[in-house]
Structure 1
Amino acid sequence: MPRHLFVTRHPGALDWAQRHGVQAARVESNLDVATVEPGDVVIGTLPVHLIAELNRRGAHYWHLTMNVPAEWRGRELSADDMEACGARLDEFRVVGTGTRSAAMTTGGAAPLGDNAPTLHLCIASGQTQPNLLPMLMERWDRVVIFASPKMLPEAERLKSMVEVLAQQSGRDGEPIVVDLPGDADYPALKRAVERAVASLRCSFPSHRLVLNVTGGTKLMTLAFTDALRSQARIIYCDTERGVLETIDSPGTAHAPLQPRLIDLDTLLAVQGYKTTRVTRVDSPAFATMKQREALTARLVLRLPTTGTGLQTRRDGDTSWTSYGLAATLHALANAAVESARKDRQRFQPGQETQLLRGGFLDGPSRELLDQLSVHGLLRDPGPAADGRLRLVFADLDAASYLAGGYMEEFALLSVAAVGLPAAHFGANVGLDRLGRREGRKHGEMNELDVALVWRNKLLTLETKAGRALVREAQGTLNKSASLKLSVGGLLATSWIVTNAREADIPSDVLDRADLNSLTRVEIVSGVAQLQRLPERIAEWAGVDLPPGYRTWREIVDDGRDLGTGGAVPATPDTAGDAR
């Protein structure tokens, strides 16, 4: 059982301790440190090296602290004298960091000048980004990566990225990977670190040390911090708060992480991915998006409530009925896309569906179809004389846009409106693993509809047009949550952007999206939320919208160049039972 041991040879100190209820199992004038056990509390005024040994053995030390006037020093103090000097018990912890001599036998170094080269030490972990960010912010000359056996692949990935940084900045010398014991306890880890640092000191005697303790396990963090306290500047990269903290030396102000340290390609590489394709704002495809942004906004914000009286059914499929223009347009466009999925030459631009009894193509619906024709997306739009709705898509790209691609364009245009650097975002981001085996046939591993990196964090936008989210809820939620963690890490944010009406999204879908903090996916739906999508993205990024920013409402209103058309009801001959 832990004991309290009072080490003193002064009667006044014993009287003071009794007066203040300090009870000790043993009072000694001299302490034999070898008799102290873990958990014991030692009280007294011991020299620093004995306190360090007590702490090393797992004991606590309470120092009898007093502010003694110079003229009282050397005389025996009574309990009253001690009260006058403000006597109190302060707990201290002392850590020995090695013997210092001309040969610096256990590490450490004489003070180095400001121009001394820097040896940057870090610990490999599953989260590579916090190890890389400080290297992008601060000066370094060589990098040493410590890694347990399980973390060697991550160490190699970090090493390859550091090599790229070194080449870009003209530094010499490749990063060094140092093995750590995989199943060691704290004392063994600390000894391993001390041996490794002593060896590095011999190889780099003129380098100052900087230690990043963000990576590794908690036990590794403690071992590295204790082993290198006072020998290295110890830092911690807090990506959640966006700051670089200096742990040792204490009192040093933290440095904010610059928001543009990592762009989209770099973040993906940090997570072990490469881009196989991406649509950026400087591409011809984006120029086309800008030309039809008013149409895109109309499809996103107004299509779900346009032509709600339309009821259609595809030929030969009595179980399939579409309600509203949005559902019919998506179905026909998807059918056209499917016709060319395996062979672009088999693309069938013309698609038909039957108008059911009570279903009709109203004026706003016809106006929207006319507008799609004006923009070159449809040819010969509108119903046939026999009560059938026939849409002829201009080409495969037009069909893909109307099958739901307009939602991706809306999301990318919303991101672009925030005014961030082009290298930090893109759409249709094809992903593949870095270092996949060559010589084997394989496609892309996955795709991000829209991705944005700012403040060194990832925001992904998965887009779903119409009722696609309702039909594919589980798969969409699983994909978004999985990509959020694997591609963006713990601090990534994932949104599902859909123009489905909020009332049409079942509550269980919303509950599953918000299941837990790690896999949480936010659903952005409904006209009110979608109109504010650029503002929400700016809020996430922590930036102000640029001067001249135009809202989606303004863009839609300015883009009103629609034609006119009348309602076309279903004919009795072809109408059926809409169920």
Structure 2
Amino acid sequence: MHIHICTVSDQILPNLIPALMDRPDQVVLLASERMREQAHHLRRVLKDYHIDAEIEDGAPDSGLEGIYEFALQLREKVQARHPGASITVNTTGGTKLMSLGLVEFFRGIAQRMIYTDTAHRVIESLPGSGGAPAAVQLMEDVLDVKQYLKAQQFQPTRIRSDQAQWQANVNTRKSMCKKLGARAAEIDHFIGILNKAAAQAMDDRGENLVQPEQTLPMVPHGEWEELLIEMDTRDLLAWKRGTKSVTFKDVENTRFLSGGWLEEYVWHILKDNGVFDVRLGVEGNWLRGKGSKNEFDVLATKTNRLLYVECKTLTHREEADSVLGYKVDSLGQDLRGLFGVTWLVTARTPTPNLLDRARQSRFEVIGPQELPTLKERVLAWIGG
């Protein structure tokens, strides 16, 4: 019998990750009055992994005497219920006093006492009855995107990159989206015109073609002409050389040309460079008190950290930048946890207003000049 004992706090990942790595037979969740609902959520998440969890209510938030009494009673209860069990005490959650109480009363009987150092992606072992700390344990990848979201109380209902049609076609567009990403700074104006035309070809929800034939403001020449010829060759659209008229052929490729190419560019860069999991077009609902439905452009996990990438290709308006900045910052805070990261990737040059908002908040803006070197940014995040 192997038991994990942990104190529930606002962040559940430091308790969840070691449990998923060790796969104990049972997890004992110590919950204060304030953390009762969070404890029930963590129990539900553990149940999804077929790990039994038991909640011990009444854990004190303060007062060393009360904490010592609680820890002593817990030790006696665990020993009576599971004599001879192998015990791991996770000291990460709760107050420092609670951690001190657990260490004091379980030092002689726990096989391991651990601390989840999420920032450095390791599990530290505190000195046990033998007196010497065990070797540091590197954190394993145990959370894919959907599992991470569920832990953060967000339930995905639809993921575009999981759909068979999208998976069948994404690699046929790869060279084009890589080309657009690499040249985004030089063809900024062309991207804006093409995105606008593609958006106007669809209904407001982007689900149907309503005006597939669109007229460009000028006859394309030079690099614009080369790109349209290639798009026509690849059946992304139809264009007759020397004319202003373009015809969009189907919804999926029109979405791609209206800005979806940037999401796919980010998805390919992440996929090709060793992240544990990456998903595109994630829709879903918050499980508790955070409002209704939300959609996330690109999400990736690596060593149980989340990267949330919002992608924008349309021209930024100063009055809309504050709204965009608030949205990106707010959703990122709700979703990513303490050690997740939020990026706003834009194919159009960001305005000073948007950059100011990013500096005031916890997200980074990656503009068109940085798109060709996005791989280096991804590798730095993976290694950081």
Give the TM-score of the pair, scaled to structure 1.
0.60
In the TM superposition, residue 350 of structure 1 has moved relative to its aligned partner by: 2.0
Q: Which amino acid aligns with 1:398?
A: N
Q: Which amino acid aligns with 2:37?
A: P
d(CA) in 2 for partners of 1:425 and 1:343? 24
Q: Which amino acid aligns with 1:525?
A: G
* Selected match of 2:132 from 230, 233, 251: 251
The 1:434–1:402 alpha-carbon spacing in structure 2 relative to 1, beyond 3 Å, is same
Corresponding position of 1:533: 374
Higher CA-based Rg = 1
Corresponding position of 2:350: 505
The 1:144–1:132 alpha-carbon spacing in structure 2 relative to 1, beyond 3 Å, is same
Corresponding position of 1:148: 32
In the TM superposition, residue 362 of structure 1 has moved relative to its aligned partner by: 2.8
1:500-579 matches, within 5 Å, as 500=348, 504-515=349-360, 519-527=361-369, 529-542=370-383
* Secondary structure of residue in 1 paired with 2:255: helix
d(CA) in 2 for partners of 1:467 and 1:382? 27
The one-character-per-residue Cα deviations of 1:118-137 (angstroms, maximum 9, x if unpaired) are: 32211111111110111122
* Selected match of 1:178 from 33, 37, 56: 56
* Selected match of 1:326 from 191, 201, 205: 191
The range that moved more, 366-375 or 450-459, is 366-375
Corresponding position of 1:407: 262
d(CA) in 1 for partners of 2:172 and 2:181? 16
Q: Which amino acid aligns with 2:355?
A: L
1:276 equivalenced with 2:157 (yes/no): yes
Give the TM-score of the pair, scaled to structure 2.
0.88
* Selected match of 1:289 from 150, 166, 170: 170
Q: Does the CA-based 8 Å contact 1:180-1:189 persist in structure 2?
A: no
Q: Does the CA-based 8 Å contact 1:469-1:476 persist in structure 2?
A: no
Unaligned runs of 5+ in 1: 1-116, 168-173, 309-323, 437-441, 544-579
Q: Which amino acid aligns with 2:150?
A: A
Corresponding position of 1:71: none
Tell me: higher relative CO, structure 1 or 2? Use CA pairs within 8 A at least 6 residues apart: 2
The 1:218–1:374 alpha-carbon spacing in structure 2 relative to 1, beyond 3 Å, is same
Q: Does the CA-based 8 Å contact 1:257-1:455 persist in structure 2?
A: no
The 1:183–1:126 alpha-carbon spacing in structure 2 relative to 1, beyond 3 Å, is closer
The 1:192–1:131 alpha-carbon spacing in structure 2 relative to 1, beyond 3 Å, is same
The 1:165–1:187 alpha-carbon spacing in structure 2 relative to 1, beyond 3 Å, is same
d(CA) in 2 for partners of 1:281 and 1:415? 16
Q: Does the CA-based 8 Å contact 1:274-1:434 persist in structure 2?
A: yes
1:210 equivalenced with 2:91 (yes/no): no
* Secondary structure of residue in 1 paired with 2:169: helix
Corresponding position of 1:349: 212
In the TM superposition, residue 420 of structure 1 has moved relative to its aligned partner by: 4.3
1:490 equivalenced with 2:338 (yes/no): yes
The 1:303–1:394 alpha-carbon spacing in structure 2 relative to 1, beyond 3 Å, is farther
d(CA) in 1 for partners of 2:330 and 2:351? 22
1:88-487 matches, within 5 Å, as 117-138=1-22, 140-166=24-50, 174-181=52-59, 184-232=62-110, 233-249=112-128, 250-280=131-161, 283-306=164-187, 324-337=189-202, 339=203, 341=205, 344=208, 347-352=210-215, 361-381=220-240, 389-421=244-276, 424-434=277-287, 445-468=293-316, 472-487=320-335
* Secondary structure of residue in 1 paired with 2:10: coil
Q: Does the CA-based 8 Å contact 1:301-1:499 persist in structure 2?
A: no
Corresponding position of 1:59: none
* Secondary structure of residue in 2 paired with 1:449: strand
In the TM superposition, residue 409 of structure 1 has moved relative to its aligned partner by: 0.8
Query: Taking every aligned residue pair, what percent have the same amino acid on both sides?
Result: 27
Corresponding position of 1:16: none
* Secondary structure of residue in 2 paired with 1:166: coil
In the TM superposition, residue 184 of structure 1 has moved relative to its aligned partner by: 4.8
Unaligned runs of 5+ in 2: none
The one-character-per-residue Cα deviations of 1:481-537 (angstroms, maximum 9, x if unpaired) are: 22322222010011112222xxx433342232122xxx421122234x222222321
